[in-house]
Amino acid sequence: MFSVALSNRIKNLPPYLFMEIDRLKEQVRSKGVDIIDLGVGDPDLPTPENIIKKLAESAADPANHRYPSYSGMNEFNKVVADWYLRRFGVKADYRSEVITLIGSKEGLAHFPLAFINPGDLALVPSPAYPVYNVATMFAGGESFFMPLTAENNFLPDLAAIPSDVADRAKIMFINYPNNPTGAVAGMDFYNAVVAFAKKHNIIVCHDAAYSELAFDGYKPVSFLNAAGAMEVGIEFHSLSKTYNMTGWRIGFAVGRAEIVAAVGKIKSNIDSGAFQAVQWAGIEALTGDQTVVADLMKIYTERRNVLVSGLNEAGLHVEPPKATFYLWIKVPSGWSSNDFTMLLLEKAGIVTTPGNGFGAPGEGYIRMTLCLPVDRLKEAVNRIKGVGF
């Protein structure tokens, strides 16, 4: 009898966190429960009209119907380099230090394939976006987890990494503003990362997908602002969250030319590049009227304030984040992350994400997003107030 034999990497792969959440959500919804989904960070607001218009115009142009460049159109990469200079003061050569991605997740997932051999080590934060660890595993590598704790402002303690581990490590993942904690990092941290990377010959991969979602006038800096960062690393960005383009799949990375080229070599053997019409839309996003981003942040600011104040009134401790659209919430005493997540789902119809789903140090927290209108957030708060815990 014919049987399907899965690879070990698939057998050992944990269920993708958000697929599992979707499964549980549908179980509860099938019972007729009105679900309030604060689980997945998927913007509920539409892509700005000027970007949609540009896509439609570009999609109608037969010149964009052929295979695109593997590493992106020169026009898009040039706009990215210009944006980096304008936004961060970082100079990058668009021909060698910029690459177009089919969303930053794609780039992050392919990144270890360029640098990790079987048995090699990657330094991975925990809790964190699950792709860092899974991508390392797919490349045959092992993850050494760097705990992110409240005591250290959810920054990895570089001094706590054993020297033999640091010497073995090939790459280090960092992510600020941070998913899931909402924490931010400054130049002192980035300078320390560069020094650490140079000492131990580690390539730094910084996921900066949330750099433009910041509150109260705060402007996150780039890892590449640190002196020497361009020598040791690469920074990944996405248009998904900044311009409500999660389904469009367009992102980019900027960094040392040899690192960018290695990512490009992986991509050229795996995919055929981002649809050019979407790249033209990305150009419109980065060069068009940026009041759309300011308007977006006004909406998220109101949502953050409503949900933070409401949750604290309900007896859940949460600090207002300086960036991202996530709240990192301590669960009540006596509850685990999983149990409290299930309590809110079963008793209140509210979907959240258990903190330990992002890694063991996330135990004791849940994550909520701000990707719903204010009236639904107020309804969520009212339901939580009615749950006994």
The 10s digit of each residue's pLDDT in 61-113 is 999 999 999 899 999 999 999 999 999 999 999 999 999 999 999 999 999 99
How high is the mean pLDDT of the chain? 95
- What is the C-alpha separation between 315 and 313, in angstroms, rounded? 5
The 10s digit of each residue's pLDDT in 129-174 is 999 999 999 999 999 999 999 999 999 999 999 999 999 999 999 9
CA angle in degrees (0–180, nearest 5) for 175-176-181:
90
User: Considering only CA atoms, which of 360, 213, 224, 223 is closest in space to residue 298?
Assistant: 213
Which residues, 6 or more positions from 261, have their beta carbon under 8 angstroms from its beta carbon?
96
Q: How confident is the model at residue 213 (pLDDT cuts 50, 70, 90)?
A: very high
Q: What is the pLDDT of residue 389?
A: 81
**What separation in angstroms does the CA of 269 have from each of 95, 140, 262, 273, 275?**
20, 18, 11, 10, 17
- What's the whole-number mean pLDDT along residues 290-309? 98
The 10s digit of each residue's pLDDT in 172-198 is 999 999 999 999 999 999 999 999 999
Cis-peptide into 320, omega within 30 deg: no
**What separation in angstroms does the CA of 201 have from each of 145, 164, 165?**
18, 12, 12
The 10s digit of each residue's pLDDT in 344-389 is 998 999 999 999 999 999 999 999 999 999 999 999 999 999 998 8
This prediction has a pTM of 0.95
Torsion (CA) 216, 219, 220, 226 in degrees, nearest 10: -150
pLDDT > 90: what percent of the chain?
90
- Domains of the chain from N-terminus onward: 14-43+291-385 (3.90.1150.10), 50-287 (3.40.640.10)
Cis-peptide into 180, omega within 30 deg: yes
**DSSP collapsed to 3 states, the chain:** CCCCCCCHHHHCCCCCHHHHHHHHHHHHHCCCCCCEECCCCCCCCCCCHHHHHHHHHHHCCHHHCCCCCCCCCHHHHHHHHHHHHHHHCCCCCCCCCEEEECCHHHHHHHHHHHCCCCCCEEEEEECCCCHHHHHHHHCCCEEEEEECCHHHCCCCCHHHCCHHHHHHEEEEEEECCCCCCCCCCCHHHHHHHHHHHHHHCCEEEEECCCCCCECCCCCCCCHHHCCCHHHHEEEEEECCCCCCCCCCCCEEEEECHHHHHHHHHHHHHHCCCCCHHHHHHHHHHHHCCCHHHHHHHHHHHHHHHHHHHHHHHCCCCCCCCCECCEEEEECCCCCCHHHHHHHHHHHHCEECEEHHHHCHHHCCEEEEECCCCHHHHHHHHHHHHCCCC
Q: What is the pLDDT of residue 15?
A: 67
Please report the sign of the dihedral spanned by the C-alpha atoms of residue 77, residue 82, residue 85, residue 86: negative
